[in-house]
Structure 1
Amino acid sequence: MTTAPPKVAPGAAPETGAEAALVAALLALDPVGLGGVALRGPPGPAREAWLALLRRLLPREAPWRRVPPGVADGRLLGGLDLPGTLQAGRRIAERGLLAEADGGVLLLAMAERLPAATALRLAAALDTGEVRVERDGLALCQPARLGLVALDEGLEEERPPVALLDRLAFHLTLDGAPPDAAAPASLRAARARLRRLPPPAPAVIEALCATAVALGIASLRAPLLALRAAQAAAALAGRRAVEAADAALAARLVLAPRATRLPAPEEAAEEEEAAEARPPEATPEAAPGEAAAQTLPDVVLAAARAALPPELLAHLAAAAPVAGAGAGGEGRKGPARQAARRGRPVGTRAGDPRAGFRLSLVETLRAAAPWQRLRGAGGAGARIAVRREDFRVLRLRRPAETTTVFVVDASGSAALHRLAEAKGAAELLLAACYARRDRVALISFRGSGAELLLPPTRSLVRARRCLAALPGGGGTPLALGLEAARALAATERRQGRTPLLVLLTDGRANISREGRAAGRAQAEADALAAGRALRREGCAGAVLLVDMAPRPQAFARDLAEALGAPHLPLPAADPALLSAAVQRTAARLVAGHGAAA
């Protein structure tokens, strides 16, 4: 016997406990189709109660596996069973956690600190429903149709990798409320109904896609997951087809947590006016029940809007440019450089340990194990025959240093607007750079030139003094500031460091590249040319443009496009908000630059 999901009007938000129980029921009903859930919250009774509820709702035979932090590829994907291979003298394969969880749920601990490589392997398994292993002389393809529960215990700035979040239907935050105990105890009948459900009506698909667009969701997976959630909700409620209430529920649970902007309040009114203006002959005869479907986009959008948190505007102002930052602290110290003798292990390769490399004993035995019978070393208690070609040495990698270069517009227009706020935000950001042991530098441009006020240094005291003494006034030689930043970035790259440029300007260029007042048009053309030159030299993806103007400037957006940089307009931000946004964006930019390198 099943119980219908909690009754919630499209314009109202459910209680946290009821919503958490509903997510558990939907996921237990269709874990493979829905991908899984990102469960955000600290360890405690609420989280354990939700996990116990999910496990109770799953079929008894469904596997339940936990992925420990720092899991090795061999345990996750499977591969060569080293003890069995050494004993048998032939290759013996073992299953990994992904294959063991086939048909059930995989529990991922500390997802916010998941390495990018592991996240991509999990994402591939979620996409294909299988795991492929081609290593150690093995070529395996095993089924891995599963749902993933990503436990996110991170702080405010920590999130699981985007590649993983994009494939999980639900993003649920537990605030201490336990799940509602009235959730269904058995979903066997609902699973049977889900298999018999017809495809959703085109109106349902259009409504969910329109809601995703209105909320600023760029991923195409989001409406597909919402459609799957609507089908699961219909089956859970005992219906034979997806109805408006199911689509509204899916929009609230799947689309609303992914919103990157608030829907325009006049969108619904415009759609109603367009419907009233449509000539009667343009509308075909409506079957019974289709009249309500004509307003389905409004119903679904209203349900998603009601589920948006009240502080979404402030959240988006701080986090929108970095939506989808990478995993944990990866990349914050700059791109990794290959190091032959020092660094942390990132894998193995064939090599000679006598050349000064570190021997990987386990991987050496893995390489030698399949050949023992041919080498006459098989049998219990016999010695293992290891040859030169079996040797595996560690591949080491060490992080490169990062130099954060502040390029500050100290002209009269910037000083009039938000130079004081920019100074405060930069000072807060300096402390974060100091904690990461980054170098910092300061370039100021005003009047008829640009000046390197602070060469790259780790001295927080010097940086603060230089920033506090930064004067304001004069024209805006934006092109000269960009050229000075390009020269400094080139110097840092030659010395093996990664430059990250933070450009703070109001975008009101009026001084040409020659340092003369040649008119705004010429000054803007020179600035765009300097920005494109900076991008061509490899700085694309490692620049952030902060628009200090009271209102976002069109030219600032054009300059950000020329630089290949995010444009961060903050017309009403305080220094703390600006610093938080820049820190998150800087972490993403450095991580992306390191991956590209």
Structure 2
Amino acid sequence: MSDATWENACLAAALVALDPAGTGVVLRARPGPVREAWLDRLRALLPEGTPVTRLPAAIADDALLGGLDLPATLATGRPVAQPGLLARSHGGVVLVPMAERLAPGTAARIAQGLDTHSVEVARDGIATRHPARFGLVLLDEGEGEDEAVPACLADRAALHLDLDGVSVGALAAAPPVPGLAAARSARPEGPPEAAEMLCAVAARLGIASLRAPLLALRAARLHAALAGRARVDDSDLAAAAGLVLAPRARLWPSEEAGAASEPPPPDRDQVGGADRDNDDPNGESRSLDDRVLAAVAARLPPGLLARLLAGHGPRTRSPGAGRAGAAASARRGRPVGTRPGDPRRGRLALSETLRAAAPWQRLRRGDDEARLRITAQDLRIRRLVQKRETTTIFAVDASGSAALERLAEAKGAVESLLAECYIRRDRVALVAFRGRGADLLLVPTRSLVRAKRALASLPGGGGTPLAAGIEAAGRLAAAERRAGRSATVLLLTDGRANIARSGAPGRAQAGADALSAARVLAAEGTSALVIDTAAHPQESARALAAAMAARYLPMPQADAARLTQAVREAALPG
């Protein structure tokens, strides 16, 4: 299956190379040799000299669309416009890493450029229009179901590829692509019924997008051109439907379920062509959309086909809410001085710019000239300290002392806190302690779905190794700090430890070990919050919070608003 997926991906690269602006790709793949091999193949198939531009993270509007060339404007005394990244990519390809984190506004502006093949700028005293016909490669690096490429861009990309299941050993299976130059100038004609048939297939697969069948028809023409045909035949339509419609499928037609549960390999006699009949093995006539639908079934991954037959669509991910937990823009943060720089890359420090320019005015202008002369070397921008990325570590007491109903309430509290962390785009981790030790149930992640899944499977019962839980959370917090991230520990417990650090039972020693572990956590500078999960506030939990230098919040008073406020305060740097 890995080899077939890679061959389809190589075919998709060839189609994109034929018409980058008319296709576009959403490439689901982690950074690594497989993704780089596909990108290298695409670059090799593009015409020589085709620009491939990488979109920077958190790009500003003037850098994306174009704007005022400030140094040239200051030098000439009149507004001078300069093109942005999209205009400079005219005739080429824009590569978007971490496309699932694109800001909604940036995604909308890119989508407008795709639709109009131009960029308009009307601000700062300039009004210009630049051609911008470009292809788009969206690299989807989302960690879970809750992160996705913006829908406005995913809908405009013809091809959706998933290379996560491709092994490095399959990379050598890519076939050569002859005749690309001739294919670029070819204009194959499609049968009159092709558009209607692709719309019918899309409807039967539950695809609501009107762009999908149009993109499939364009891909069919490119496929025919690649094969050297002057007219689109059934095999081209089948290949296009498999590449464009299959990844978008949301259901499988019930009347096809029996035949498609074990899809056959793509068979040219089954798919059909101009020189083959249209009968199935039983001698019954099959419509064109039935034959194309059979080809789509042959290209569906077995796991996806099984979910469609069961009435479940493919794994979908909602668009992310943006990185509020870590300021990614150079225009955000706390000012800590100034430095020479371009105001398009930061905030202009006007006073400091004037101070830098003032000593040179007598040399730059005549005695009777009153105009201030400022050069690019005078420009100063503010230096900003940005908030570091934050990891919230949930350490949950799942022991028998936390009665089942209290554990259920603790899970509810954690779920509400997870939602707050997701809004801030914090990474979250889950540590559970019970029996004789602590377990890391969830490594740091931004996936809300994975966090809720780990929380739902949290077991209960056994002793309370509180010291082990605090130490496990402390080790994870230290690892996050070494990686350059801030860490906050949220400890949910009633504070009644009965398993010592050695694993031996005994409340006295267990309590002393827990307080010792709490003091170590405080000495390391880890911010923390202790939520008392007992039915009534416990002095042991209050003492634990004091030793940890953490805020104490009893569960009976921990409503959603207070929990949210407490988490925000705990996440603030001390």
TM-score (norm 1): 0.52
Distance change >3 Å, CA 142–CA 260, structure 1 → 2: same
Distance across 2 between alignment mates of 1:463 and 1:263: 53
CA contact (8 A) 1:89 1:379 kept: no
Distance across 2 between alignment mates of 1:235 and 1:263: 31
Distance change >3 Å, CA 160–CA 137, structure 1 → 2: same
Do residues 309 (structure 1) and 323 (structure 2) align?
no
The alpha carbon displacement at 1:202 in A equals: 3.0
Distance across 2 between alignment mates of 1:97 and 1:382: 21
2:418 corresponds to which of 428, 432, 437? 432
Distance across 2 between alignment mates of 1:363 and 1:137: 23
The alpha carbon displacement at 1:309 in A equals: 2.6
Q: Which residue of 2 aligns with 1:232?
A: 222
Distance change >3 Å, CA 362–CA 191, structure 1 → 2: farther
The alpha carbon displacement at 1:432 in A equals: 2.6
Distance across 2 between alignment mates of 1:463 and 1:437: 24
Distance across 2 between alignment mates of 1:247 and 1:463: 63
Distance across 2 between alignment mates of 1:363 and 1:261: 62
The alpha carbon displacement at 1:288 in A equals: 8.3
Residues 405-424 of structure 1: per-residue CA shift (max 9 Å, x gap): xxxxxxxxxxxxxx9xx999
Matched AA of 2:242: R
Matched AA of 1:178: L
1:112 corresponds to which of 100, 117, 128? 100
Q: Which residue of 2 aligns with 1:330?
A: 322
Matched AA of 2:349: L
1:131 corresponds to which of 101, 119, 122? 119
Residues 154-196 of structure 1: per-residue CA shift (max 9 Å, x gap): 2122211111111101111122342744231551100111xx3
Distance change >3 Å, CA 51–CA 437, structure 1 → 2: closer
Distance across 2 between alignment mates of 1:108 and 1:247: 29
CA contact (8 A) 2:215 2:244 kept: yes
Matches within 5 A, 1:59-138: 59-138=47-126
Matched AA of 1:164: L
Residues 192-243 of structure 1: per-residue CA shift (max 9 Å, x gap): 11xx322x22322222112211211111111111111011001001111111
TM-score (norm 2): 0.54
Matched AA of 2:419: C
Q: Which residue of 2 aligns with 1:189?
A: 182
Matched AA of 2:218: R
Distance across 1 between alignment mates of 2:253 and 2:534: 44
Q: Which residue of 1 aligns with 2:371?
A: 377
Do residues 207 (structure 1) and 197 (structure 2) align?
yes
Distance change >3 Å, CA 427–CA 245, structure 1 → 2: farther
Matched AA of 1:222: A
The alpha carbon displacement at 1:49 in A equals: 1.6
CA contact (8 A) 1:197 1:231 kept: yes
Distance across 2 between alignment mates of 1:323 and 1:30: 28
CA contact (8 A) 2:249 2:314 kept: no
Q: Secondary structure at the match of 1:94?
A: strand
Do residues 178 (structure 1) and 166 (structure 2) align?
no
Do residues 153 (structure 1) and 141 (structure 2) align?
yes
Q: Secondary structure at the match of 1:242?
A: coil
Q: Which residue of 1 aligns with 2:292?
A: 300
Q: Secondary structure at the match of 1:208?
A: helix
Runs of 5+ consecutive residues of structure 2 not aligned to the other structure: 260-273, 280-284, 326-330, 334-345, 358-363, 385-404, 425-489, 494-530, 536-558, 566-574
Matched AA of 2:50: A
Matched AA of 2:371: A
Q: Secondary structure at the match of 1:172?
A: strand
Matches within 5 A, 1:411-560: 429-430=415-416, 432-433=418-419, 435-436=421-422
The alpha carbon displacement at 1:308 in A equals: 2.4
Runs of 5+ consecutive residues of structure 1 not aligned to the other structure: 1-11, 270-286, 334-342, 346-357, 386-391, 395-418, 439-457, 467-490, 499-597
Matched AA of 2:184: R
Q: Secondary structure at the match of 1:218?
A: coil
CA contact (8 A) 2:251 2:312 kept: no
1:54 corresponds to which of 24, 31, 42? 42
Distance change >3 Å, CA 362–CA 460, structure 1 → 2: farther
Do residues 19 (structure 1) and 5 (structure 2) align?
no
Matched AA of 1:432: L
Which protein shows a greater Rg? 2
Matched AA of 2:149: P
Q: Secondary structure at the match of 2:175?
A: coil
Matched AA of 1:108: V
Do residues 29 (structure 1) and 18 (structure 2) align?
yes
Distance across 2 between alignment mates of 1:324 and 1:67: 22
CA contact (8 A) 2:101 2:323 kept: no
Distance change >3 Å, CA 321–CA 313, structure 1 → 2: closer
Distance across 2 between alignment mates of 1:431 and 1:122: 34
CA RMSD in angstroms comes to 4.7
CA contact (8 A) 2:74 2:374 kept: no
The alpha carbon displacement at 1:431 in A equals: 6.2
Q: Secondary structure at the match of 1:265?
A: helix
Q: Which has the higher contact order (CA 8 A, sep 6+)?
A: 1
Distance change >3 Å, CA 309–CA 95, structure 1 → 2: same
Distance across 1 between alignment mates of 2:417 and 2:114: 40
1:241 corresponds to which of 231, 238, 241? 231
Distance across 2 between alignment mates of 1:257 and 1:376: 65
Q: Which residue of 1 aligns with 2:445?
A: none
Distance across 2 between alignment mates of 1:324 and 1:152: 11
Distance across 2 between alignment mates of 1:424 and 1:318: 34
The alpha carbon displacement at 1:263 in A equals: 2.7
Residues 278-333 of structure 1: per-residue CA shift (max 9 Å, x gap): xxxxxxxxx9879679621011111212222333378679985994622x342889
Q: Secondary structure at the match of 1:151?
A: strand
Distance across 2 between alignment mates of 1:219 and 1:114: 22
